[in-house]
Amino acid sequence: MASREVVQYETPLTRAFRWFSVAFIIVYLMWTLLPILVMFVSSFKDLLEAFKIPAVGDWAGIGVFFEFTPTLKHYQDLFLNLNFSSYILNSLVAAGGSAVISVVLGSMAAYSLSRINFKGKNDLFFWIISTRMAPVVAVMVPLYSIFRSLELVGTLPGLILAYTTFNLPFAIWILKGFFDNVPYAIEEAQMVDGATRPQALLAILPLVAPGIGAFIVLCILFAWNDFLFAAIIGSGGAKTLPVATRELVQPQNIQWGSIMAAGVVTTVPMMLLGLVIRRYLVTGLTMGAVKE
């Protein structure tokens, strides 16, 4: 790496490019944030106000968007009439349960995969990763038929198992990369001092703990945001937030106010968690292929 900054001379062309990129960033930010803003604001609006938009081509009328008296009635509706608190609980149990199972079992497997070599290791690895990459709907067809015969459809344990199908391979794959970065010499040093293997593992655990924590959060995020598994496997007894939100869309009557409020309830915790594990996000979302 060169230590000095590259000296760049400003030509009209580069200046134009700079201004263009600033403008592009601003436009892009607006388009990224607008739907989120609309969701937030609409959740506090009365329906009549939420439906108010200016006439076509009336650019000055944009101000209409901010003309409203905030109301919490959609949120009250969600929690008092629509039973959303129990759906939140379902979401938490399903996502949390599968995340903990996946990361605990996954880190054990990842640790040993990282420490030993054996014949067929690559094949095993490919199998693990292909499980993760399979299309959700395709996985669901046999899973549904099996779960139905085991009477797991519509129960939280069933949903937890279903989420584990994509969280466990993810955890193994990504945590192996994590353990690979911990020098084996540390464990060797421990063992020279008389530690047993499990004790040596405990000694390196603090090194990987932050990463493991972050990937628990990522697993929660994947499961929390899932709709398909929850809609089919969890239908009935284990309704989660995304499914409950979707059910507010009825053919004759789409309850937009409640939908937006439910959207906020579903989204905000995940956005906050996303900020907490910001450092591991790219690694996690690219399956460890890209590190920041």
Partner 1 sequence: MTDTALSDQYVPGQSQGLFRVREIADNVEARPVPSTVTMPAKLNPAASRAYFFWLMVPAIVLLACISLYPFFWMIYMSLHDVEIGSTVWNNFENFTKLATDSRYLKGWWLLIQYSVMCLVLQIGIGVFLAVALNGARFEKILVTTLLMPMMMAPIVAGLVWHFLYNGTFGWYHWLLQSVGILGPKSILASTSTALIGIVIVDVWQWTPLITLITLAGLKRVPQDQLEANMVDGASQLRNFFAITLPNLYPVLLIAVMLRFMDNFRFIDSVLALTGGGPGNATKILPVYLFEVSFKFFKLGRGAAIALTLLIVTIVLGMILVRIFDRQQPRKA
C-alpha distances (whole Å) from 236 to each of 7, 233, 239 are 64, 9, 6
- Shortest approach of partner 1 to residue 124 CB, angstroms? 8
Query: Which of residues 33 and 72 has its CB atom nearest to partner 1 in the complex?
Result: 33
71 or 235: whose CB is closer to partner 1?
235
**Least spacing, CB of residue 81 vs partner 1, in Å:** 19
Token output for 80:
């008092």
Under a CB-based contact definition with an 8 Å cutoff, are residues 153 and 233 in contact? Answer: yes
Q: Which is nearer to partner 1, 198 or 206 (CB)?
A: 198
Three-class secondary structure assignment of 49-93: HHCCCCCCCCHHHHHHHHCCCCCCHHHHHHHHHCCHHHHHHHHHH
Q: How far is the CB of 205 from partner 1 (least distance, A)?
A: 13
Min dist. Cβ of residue 270 to partner 1 (A): 5
Nearest distance from C-beta of residue 161 to partner 1, angstroms: 6
For the chain, the straight-line distance linking the first and the last C-alpha, in angstroms and rounded, comes to 16
Go through 80-109 and write b for each residue having 16 or more CB atoms within 10 A of its CB, e for each that does not: eebebeebbebbebbbbbbbebbbeebbeb
Comparing CB distances to partner 1, the nearer of 69 and 118 is 118
Q: Which residue has the tokens 């054996």?
A: 118
